[in-house]
Chains A and B, each alone.
Chain A
Amino acid sequence: MTNNYYDPADLRKFGKITEWSEELGTKFFNYYNAVFEEGALSAREKSLIALAVAHVVKCPYCIDAYTKDGLQRGITKEEMMEAVHAGAAIESGATLVHGVQMMNKYNKLSM
């Protein structure tokens, strides 16, 4: 056991979660793998969505995994950075849109 909360080496042990709950673990990985198959969206597009979400949920494992996945798919760094900005824009927008609530409250309380 390391003294850090995040260890890069833990990513490849992800599959082991199934050992403590085979049914749920198997269901999760089956679902996960099905999500990223070619569908109405290409696997390439889904990889970029995953990269953006990885940043928004601030998951270092996911960032490592989907940066590498993008490289393997030939996705360029410009495409990756645009995806990260798309995630960041939604996240900052989600904060800022609450500014309307603040304004509403301010106006209600003010004479």
Chain B
Amino acid sequence: MATKSLKARHKELAETNNQLEILNGGIFQEGELPYFKDKIAEIGQFPLRPNKLEVLQINVGYMCNQVCEHCHVDAGPDRKEIMTKETMIQCLEVIRNTGAHTLDLTGGAPEMNPNFKWFVDEASKAGIQDFIVRSNLTIIRANKKYHDLPQFFKDHNVHVVSSMPHYTRGKTDKQRGAGVFDKSIMALQELNAIGYGKPNSDLRLDLVYNPSGAYLPGDQAALEHDFKIALKEDFGIEFHNLFAITNLPIARFLDYLIASENYEDYMYSLVDAYNPAAVQHVMCTNTISVSWDGWLYDCDFNQMLDLKVASKVKHIKDYNEDLLHERDIIISQHCFGCTAGAGSSCQGTVA
């Protein structure tokens, strides 16, 4: 398993242009598979337009203590892109005035941003309804300075959303690195111990499941059922919901697909599973994604492909919700990942 990002390894796919060339070329260019644009035009959804803004998702940096094989961010310990306090101050101004009911902090490991705690403290004062931090769990055990994170999350009524690719050690460690499973289990037990994830608890603890390979997630409810039974029986762990998220062919997952000669089959799977009913609920229709350096995107995936919003407003310093609402959403063939089967978003299935 790699211990460095594609960027640090100077791999071709570290360049977003090369990724977009693959996503727009090959089987799509040759007409074997349809372009996403043409599929959504069939149901009158092109250009794709936003609905009401519900989620403000802020990526506070690409640095991470893990180097997961499927990571669409290409995050890792070597990534230096970290949101500055100045950009955080601009974000806070937006958080205080947004119509969105959910604030969603992601990364990298967001906790590795040196101003993370200050930012959470300030943002929690804005009184936003649902305040999510996407925590990879192992960060809590990674270093003494992070040991108090569970209590910190509780004090700020943070909704914790954590990745857990499987309830068995082998599958988890293969995707996320050796030792990740045991550390994640410990972190979940700590969160449970202070009240997270318990039935009827207001301290929300949800898990994210990504397939560990070139296949789509199965039925979200069935997976949640299996995870709940296994984690409870084996480790006494409880959690609220499981979000099944499809891996999108971006960054390291794209690199994996190509290296393992699964790229074409995977794209066929996504296109074959295209579900028109998912289109009107894809997350880019209710989300604005902000990058570490303040640029605005339709979603975290577009951010990683550097496809900025098609609006006069492109940066958090000029943020204007009404103007952003007028934009057309930027799409490419990776979008088939969000419309496959029951659909996929950072909040799980959509259809």
Q: Give chain A's interface secondary structure class.
A: helix
Binds B, one of A17-25, A68-76, A102-110: A68-76
Contact of B217 with A72 in the complex, beta carbons under 8 Å: yes
Nearest CB in chain A: distance from B177 CB, A: 19
Contact with B along A41-77 (1 / 0, CB 8 A): 0011000000000000000000000001101111010
The residues in B between 283 and 308 inclusive whose CB is less than 8 angstroms from any CB of A are none
Contact of A76 with B215 in the complex, beta carbons under 8 Å: no
Contact of A44 with B222 in the complex, beta carbons under 8 Å: yes
**Identity of the chain A residue whose Cβ is nearest the Cβ of B217 in the assembled complex:** A72
A76 to B227, CA, bound (A): 13
Contact of B218 with A76 in the complex, beta carbons under 8 Å: no
Contact of B168 with A72 in the complex, beta carbons under 8 Å: no
**Identity of the chain A residue whose Cβ is nearest the Cβ of B226 in the assembled complex:** A74
Q: Which residues of A contact B268 (CB under 8 A)?
A: 12
Contact of A12 with B217 in the complex, beta carbons under 8 Å: no
User: Which 10 residue pairs of A and B lie closest in terms of their CB atoms, listed nearest first?
Assistant: A72-B218, A73-B218, A71-B215, A68-B215, A72-B215, A74-B223, A74-B226, A72-B216, A76-B168, A12-B272
Name 25 interchain pairs, CB-CB below 8 A, sorted by A.
A12-B268, A12-B272, A43-B219, A43-B222, A44-B222, A44-B226, A68-B215, A71-B211, A71-B213, A71-B215, A72-B211, A72-B215, A72-B216, A72-B217, A72-B218, A73-B218, A73-B219, A73-B222, A73-B223, A74-B166, A74-B167, A74-B223, A74-B226, A74-B227, A76-B171
Other A-B contacts than A72-B211, A74-B227, A76-B170, 8 sampled, CB-CB below 8 A, are: A44-B222, A44-B226, A71-B213, A73-B218, A73-B219, A74-B166, A74-B209, A74-B223
> Chain B interface (Cβ within 8 Å of chain A)?
166-168, 170-171, 209, 211, 213, 215-219, 222-223, 226-227, 268, 272
